[in-house]
Structure 1
Amino acid sequence: MHIYDTVTAALAGLDKRGYELDFNLTPEYLECKEIDLRLMPEEFEIDEVYRFEGMTDPADSAVVYAISSNVGNLRGVLVDGYGVYAENVSPELLNKLKIHHG
C-alpha cells in the first residue's frame, strides 16, 4: 500500500500505476462515462482504499478507491465523500464499499 498526503497525490499515483479511468457512483452501479461503461457490484474489486480527513472541515473528508474489473480488464478510481453515498445506494453496492470503508 502506498502513502499519499492528498486526494490529488493519490489520484496522480494511482494513474501512474494504471488506474486511469474515473468512476462515478450511481444508486445501482459504478459508471465510467468516458467509455460508457457500467459495473455492477459483482463485476469489480476494490484493490486499495485511501482515506483523507478534512483538516478544518469534516465535509472535506474523502475516500479514494482503486478499482479493478475483469470486465474488459479495466482499472480506475472512485472518489467519494465520507458517508455521502449511504443514502442513495443499493444494499449490494453499499456492502461492497463498506467492506473496505472500515
Structure 2
Amino acid sequence: MEHPIEMNTLSQILEKLRLKGLDNEIKMTDHGKMQGVGVNKIYNPEDLTIIKTYRFEGDSDPGDNSVLYLLEDKDGQIGYILDAYGMYSSQENAGFDDFLKKIPTADRDLQELLS
C-alpha cells in the first residue's frame, strides 16, 4: 500500500508551491516595505493575510529553525515569506517582526491548494 508523501520538510513544501506556480516569495526591502519578488508588488500589512504557518526545526542544530508563512494578497495571489530564526535569523531589518505582527491571520486548510 502506497502512502502519500508527507509535506514535513521545508524543501518539500517549497517544491510543491513551485509545481503549483505559487512560489512567489515576498521579502522586506531596505525601505521597510514587503515586496513580491515574482509579482513585483509592494505590500503593506493590510494588503496581505497569513493563511498558513509552517514551523521547521533543524535536525542537526536546534539553532537552525525557520518559519514559512503562506500569504494571500488582496488580488487572491498566493505568496510566501520565509524567516529563519534563532541563531541564523535571516531578517536583519528591525521592522520585519513589526510588519509580520500587523498582517491579519486566517488559518485555512490548504490540502486542496497543495495537493
Please report how far the alpha carbon of residue 18 of structure 1 lies from its aligned counterpart in structure 2 after TM superposition.
5.3
Pick from 39, 42, 50: which aligns with 1:35?
A: 39
CA distance in 1 between counterparts of 2:66 and 2:50 reads 16
Rg: which structure is higher?
Answer: 2
Identity score, percent = 25
Q: Which has the higher contact order (CA 8 A, sep 6+)?
A: 1
Q: Alignment RMSD, CA only?
A: 2.8
Extract structure 1 runs of 4+ deviating beyond 6 A: none
Q: Between Structure 1 and Structure 2, how many residues are aligned?
A: 96
More helix by share: 1
TM-score, length-scaled by structure 1:
0.72
Q: 1:19 to 1:56 in 2, by over 3 A?
A: same
Unaligned runs of 5+ in 2: 1-5, 107-115
Tell me if the contact between 1:41 and 1:92 (Cα under 8 Å) persists in the aligned partners.
no
> Are 1:48 and 2:49 counterparts?
no
AA aligned opposite 2:65: S
Unaligned runs of 5+ in 1: none
TM-score, length-scaled by structure 2:
0.65
